[in-house]
Structure 1
Amino acid sequence: MADFVREVMTPGVVAVRPDASLVEAAQLMRSQDIGDVVVADGQQVVGVLTDRDITVRAVADGDDPAVVSAESVCTRDPVLLAPDDPVGAAVALMRTHAVRRLPVVEDGLPVGMVSLGDLAEAQDPDSALAQISRAEPADRDAR
């Protein structure tokens, strides 16, 4: 079982500028096969934008994703972790703040993300959530 966030996090961060459109962010998510991006102003984490944020906070309201900015829809001032924080701290923060993903920051710079799936895989590899997290994405061309 992992002790520290660095052992369970997904290294590397995909980021967009605060003024990036939701279309830009969604295209980046699709090309990277991810469900979230960090919204960063320079090297400062401003927020986290998920595919669900785009859907529920913009598209469902009829907003034009080509003109709405990532910053206006993201979860601002996200809870952050450090790579040397205990895995238990990540679990507690997710529970307390009802979030599924947390950016990992070292020396002020985003270095990774830890997700609920990452934690499930580390703590109970045989759980349904861990198995789903490991599964390859569905073939888009098969639809």
Structure 2
Amino acid sequence: MPTLRDIMTPGPVTVDPMATLKEVATLMLEQDIGSVLVMENDRPTGIITDRDIVIRAVAYGHDFGTPVTDYTTGDVFTMAADTSVEDAAREMAQRQLRRLPVTEEGRVVGMVSLGDLAVRTGGEADEKALQGISQPTNI
């Protein structure tokens, strides 16, 4: 049974909490990625996506020199690298996550996206996750 270690993208791109929106957007462009982890003392304190930047900052005309922490999603949920892909897909669906930081011995070592589930597992795991992620939330 495949684990997150088998399908993760190693070495996720990270920034410190004082990075600006412009710096993060530039990193996303240079690395061809859609999310960046905000780290403080080797601990993920937030995650920001390209969509967060557009919806939470650009749409309101906010300054691109603003610290990224004003726009991040906090309480980053992570899973261990030895977690089965099936268990991770279930958690991603339940929590409506499109991206999942992967840890080993308490340190972030990779990132798994919904796309990774699709491409690297033959599509079964991403179908389960997508069904849960696509459900509307009761906000």
RMSD, matched Cα:
1.5
What aligned pairs does 1:4-19 form with structure 2 within 5 A after superposition? 4-19=3-18
1:34 partner letter: I
Q: Distance in 1 between matches of 2:59 and 2:101?
A: 26
* Deviation digits for residues 17-67 of structure 1 (CA, Å, limit 9, x no counterpart): 11110100010111111111110012111111111111111111221122x
What aligned pairs does 1:46-61 form with structure 2 within 5 A after superposition? 46-61=45-60
TM-score by length of 2: 0.83
TM-superposed deviation, 1:88: 1.2
Q: Distance in 2 between matches of 1:50 and 1:23?
A: 13
* 5+ residue gaps, structure 1: 130-143
* 5+ residue gaps, structure 2: 128-139
Q: Percent identity?
A: 45
Q: Distance in 2 between matches of 1:124 and 1:65?
A: 39
Q: Distance in 1 between matches of 2:60 and 2:97?
A: 22
Partner of 2:113: 115
1:115 partner letter: S
Q: Distance in 1 between matches of 2:120 and 2:54?
A: 29
What aligned pairs does 1:37-48 form with structure 2 within 5 A after superposition? 37-48=36-47
SS for the counterpart of 1:45 is strand
TM-score by length of 1: 0.81
Partner of 2:68: 70
Q: How many residues align?
A: 124
1:25 partner letter: V
Q: Distance in 1 between matches of 2:24 and 2:41?
A: 16
Q: Does 1:106 align with 2:104?
A: yes
